[in-house]
Amino acid sequence: MTNQMFCFQCEQTAGCKGCTGAAGVCGKKADTAGLQDQLTGALIGLARAVEGNEGMVTEAIDRVVLESLFSAVTNVNFNNETLKALIQRVDEEKAGLIRRVNEKNTIQRCNESNSPCGRSDNYDMNKLWAENEDIRSLKSLILFGIRGVAAYAYHAAVLGYTDKEINQFFHKALRMIGEETCEINELITMALKVGEINLKCMALLDQANTETYGNPAPTTVSLKVEKGPFIVITGHDLLDLKLLLEQTEGKGINIYTHGEMLPAHAYPELKTYSHLKGNFGTAWQNQQKEFANIPAPILYTTNCLMPPKASYADRVFTTEVVSYPEIVHIGEEKDFTPVIQKALELGGYETDMQFTGINGGTEVMTGFGHNAVLSVADTVIDAVKAGAIKHFFLVAGCDGARPGRNYYTEFVKQTPKDTVILTLACGKYRFNDLDLGTIGGLPRLMDMGQCNDAYSAIKVAVALADAFGCEVNELPLSMILSWYEQKAVCILLTLLHLGIKNIKLGPTLPAFLSENVVSYLADNFNIGLIATPEEDIREILG
Ligand code: SF4
Ligand code: SF3
């Protein structure tokens, strides 16, 4: 295995250029990065075999594609063994597909467009990293984008919601990444298509979540941890939470959400469980501090997993595609007994513990999804018409460790009182415990949910534009986004696909965007880097 790596897919990449050498900033080792590249190369081989044979793609192929793409998202899978097993599964699925195609074609001779006869070789990702800067940039945008989309498609799939167009699109995009000759324009079109497909995928996940658990309703969530045994559950997978709630019912164990699991409190089907008590901790980058010596187990259902410190590694559990060497993994049978036993053994705190958010607040609110916000659309529209609401800010996206991220806290604090802040994803922990007051009976700060609930923000924006008879870009709405990992990449592409302009992005621009690609985005979409809260608010509000 190599001790040299190249990875520049996330915001904390070394020197804002790329992680090289023996390990990345996230703790991913060179051999793991190499296996993720090999897995991506195998997926490209499979995608080549699929070309022209789409009708013969099985559920097992769809499943392994989602798992593999999701496994390469930042802070998901650090485990060489599971990555090797995935590579093997991808290669086996490809071989099986080729065999089936060849059996079908025994009489009919293969022609050149019939992939299994010619082009089903796996791709060497080092070719991509050595490409011309602009081609590498756009192909990376596509690759990182589909990794994000796959994560959302995976969550929808575990609830039984799948979509053929989405699944087939992954193959098209993967094939383009492996193509030797590609025009810049084709790559730009494909990148925007990733955004279009992601919109479809977020809508599918929204349908899956709301049909399974009901429509989120505004809910206040306590940051207090009650005495006695408890389990902290983090990540985005609501089904894992539901199964954990079922298995812990009546056992004297309380459940606390963490990170992106917070919006779960707003779903009617999940809030019926009285032992779903509150939220523990803040965003992912604080986990090594917050979990040190915690008297409870932590279950990771998706990103963001940081390498567990020795102080709490014995109480960390993973499930689904999250994996870390030597950490207990709960498999597909979803028997959470080891987590439950650990909770009982550790016993929790001896007295109730009142924790606070970053700004000292003792509770937070969530549950302002599209259904909740649009049910008060008339009030909102009247407030805008009467001048009570002057502007909407969508301050949303991932949190991260970079010091400049307090921009988002300061931005929210400095917004005038006649403005509304919509938020979503884990970046909100910078300000979600602030009491910003109300406008016309509505809270000024509304948490729409997880990152995939960007779908709600889009629905609300489109509904407001309809009500005012204008384009979304003409609304008194500004998007101030923060990014960290690849789900933020696909959401950004969705906003670009919708033609949304003037987005302010931070804390830095993605290292994988070449100068020319940045210029293209600035010229066509007026995307800019955040400046200071004062300057940006002044510029936006005039
Ligand atoms: Fe570096 Fe981010 Fe890649 Fe980790 S995921 S190796 S921090 S660029
Ligand atoms: Fe956060 Fe990892 Fe992106 Fe779903 S939990 S948003 S960073």
Same domain, residue pair 20 and 49: yes
Same domain, residue pair 424 and 535: yes
Indicate whether 360 belongs to any domain: no
Same domain, residue pair 263 and 282: yes
What proportions of the chain, in percent to the nearest 5, are helix, strand and coil?
50, 15, 35
Cα 325 to Cα 78: distance, rounded to the nearest angstrom: 7
Say if residue 507 is preceded by a cis peptide, omega within 30 of 0: yes
Same domain, residue pair 462 and 480: yes
Cα 510 to Cα 6: distance, rounded to the nearest angstrom: 15
The beta strands (E) that lie in 325-369 are given as 328-330, 353-354, 363-366
Distance of CA 236 from the midpoint of ligand 1 (Å): 20
Indicate whether 363 belongs to any domain: no
pLDDT of 45:
98
Same domain, residue pair 388 and 525: yes
Say if residue 7 is preceded by a cis peptide, omega within 30 of 0: no
Name every protein residue with a CB atom under 6 angstroms from any ligand 1 atom: 7-10, 12-13, 19, 24-26, 28, 74
CATH number at residue 156: 1.20.1270.20
Name every protein residue with a CB atom under 6 angstroms from any ligand 2 atom: 236, 259-260, 284, 303-304, 398-399, 425-426, 450-451, 484-485, 487-488
Same domain, residue pair 532 and 391: yes
* Element spanning 230, H or E: strand 230-234
Over residues 340-383, the pLDDT tens digits come to 999 999 999 999 999 999 999 999 999 999 999 999 999 999 99
Range of the domain at 450: 370-541
The beta strands (E) that lie in 398-531 are given as 419-423, 438-439, 442-443, 445-447, 477-482, 504-506, 528-529
Distance of CA 180 from the midpoint of ligand 2 (Å): 33
Residue at which a domain ends, from 148, 177, 212: 212
Residues contacting residue 12 through CB under 8 Å, at least 6 positions apart? 25, 26, 400, 401, 402, 484
CATH number at residue 328: 3.40.50.2030
Same domain, residue pair 67 and 149: yes
Same domain, residue pair 164 and 83: yes
| DSSP designation for 394 | E
Distance of CA 10 from the midpoint of ligand 1 (Å): 6
pLDDT of 187:
98
- Whether the CA torsion 320, 324, 329, 331 is positive or negative: it is positive
Share of the chain above pLDDT 90, in %: 94
| For ligand 2, atom 4: residue with the closest CA | 451
| For ligand 2, atom 3: residue with the closest CA | 398
Indicate whether 361 belongs to any domain: no
pLDDT < 70 stretches in the chain:
1-2, 107-118
Over residues 49-94, the pLDDT tens digits come to 999 999 999 999 999 999 999 999 999 999 999 999 999 999 999 9
Cα 44 to Cα 146: distance, rounded to the nearest angstrom: 13
Distance of CA 425 from the midpoint of ligand 2 (Å): 6
Question: For residue 539, what are its two tokens?
Answer: 């510029």
Total tally of structural domains belonging to the chain = 3
Residues contacting residue 55 through CB under 8 Å, at least 6 positions apart? none
